[in-house]
Structure 1
Amino acid sequence: MNDIKKELQGFRLKPIQVLDEYSIVDVQPGKVVMETTVKNDSLNPYQMAHGGYHFTLADSVAGLTVYSLGYYAVTLQSNINYMKAAKLGDCLTISGKCQHDGRTTKVIDVLIQNQDAESIIKASFTMFVTREVGSKKN
């Protein structure tokens, strides 16, 4: 066990860069589409896009989708399915769509696809509304 502990301590995990380069390509009430490219700083040790990278993209688009409806929100619950690996240079499209527009919660489905329109990630987020955009309440 000490050998494994020593080996893991020598294994240097690197920071994951996620939201440094992206563009919003479509916004409608209850729908947001973002694009980004997988860069070296987004890769795990196996040279595939890190799962945390995908989750952060999906969670961010879910929050922006709620914002497109005029509200601020925080993630209350999430579910994510990793279906295919993304690799260095892949162009990803992250689409969020509101499936439930309640007073206190919003349910957002997020789909991440690569440049070949292959589904990489499918996720669902239940977002808890904290306040309206423009409200001075903290």
Structure 2
Amino acid sequence: MDYKKLIEKRNKPGDFATDIGVKILEIREGYACGELLIKKVHINPINAVHGGVIFTFADMVGASSTAFCENRVATLNGTINFLNAAIGVEKLIAEASVIKHGKNTMVVNVNITDEKETFVASTTFTYYILKKMKITFEDEN
């Protein structure tokens, strides 16, 4: 697996994740890390990062952690515990770890912190493995 090319593909402009500001920083076997630089569009009426933004961010980084075995996945279920309001933060960091890799599903924990390492949210996602397939990159034939 060429993780460098996979990260480039995940950060390709024009995709939903990149359009909302998600940047994948690292992918390795069973792990992914990403960041989200907070902009005004991410903020809700109480001046906190909107919970839907945090959930989407966690899902995107969580799915990236499953790519090490060339799986394509779809989210079956996700739960989130909001631990602290993300008010006045400049960025969020997500770290995702695969905790179960089954035949048909993968379970991933994702922890979200701010730039001061304050825990913002803890999430668990279950992904359905659509199929194992070679991940290709646009510059390859």
TM band (smaller chain): 0.7 to 0.9
SS in structure 2 at match of 1:68: helix
**Alpha carbons of 1:87 and 1:19: their partners in 2 closer, same or farther (altered >3 Å)?**
farther
Structure 1: stretches of 5+ with no match in the other structure: 1-16
> C-alpha distance in 1, partners of 2:37/2:89?
6
Identity of aligned residues (%): 24
- Whether 1:53 aligns to 2:49 is no
> C-alpha distance in 1, partners of 2:80/2:46?
20
Asked if structure 1 preserves the Cα contact closer than 8 Å seen for 2:58 and 2:123, the reply is yes
**Residue of structure 1 in register with 2:30 after alignment:** 30
Deviation (angstroms), 1:22: 3.3
TM-score, structure 1 normalization: 0.79
SS in structure 2 at match of 1:45: coil
Asked if structure 1 preserves the Cα contact closer than 8 Å seen for 2:89 and 2:115, the reply is no
Deviation (angstroms), 1:68: 2.6
Which letter maps to 1:60?
A: M
Larger radius of gyration: 1
> C-alpha distance in 2, partners of 1:18/1:121?
19
Deviation (angstroms), 1:79: 1.0
TM-score, structure 2 normalization: 0.77
SS in structure 2 at match of 1:48: coil
SS in structure 2 at match of 1:84: coil
Deviation (angstroms), 1:89: 4.4
Which letter maps to 1:128?
A: Y
Deviation (angstroms), 1:114: 0.6
C-alpha root-mean-square deviation of aligned residues, in Å? 1.8
> C-alpha distance in 1, partners of 2:83/2:18?
22
Deviation (angstroms), 1:18: 6.4
**Residue of structure 1 in register with 2:81 after alignment:** 81
Asked if structure 2 preserves the Cα contact closer than 8 Å seen for 1:32 and 1:68, the reply is no
> C-alpha distance in 1, partners of 2:52/2:116?
22
Asked if structure 1 preserves the Cα contact closer than 8 Å seen for 2:105 and 2:127, the reply is yes
Asked if structure 2 preserves the Cα contact closer than 8 Å seen for 1:94 and 1:113, the reply is yes
> C-alpha distance in 2, partners of 1:18/1:48?
20
> C-alpha distance in 2, partners of 1:48/1:69?
36
Structure 2: stretches of 5+ with no match in the other structure: 1-15, 136-141
Count of aligned pairs: 119
**Alpha carbons of 1:54 and 1:47: their partners in 2 closer, same or farther (altered >3 Å)?**
same
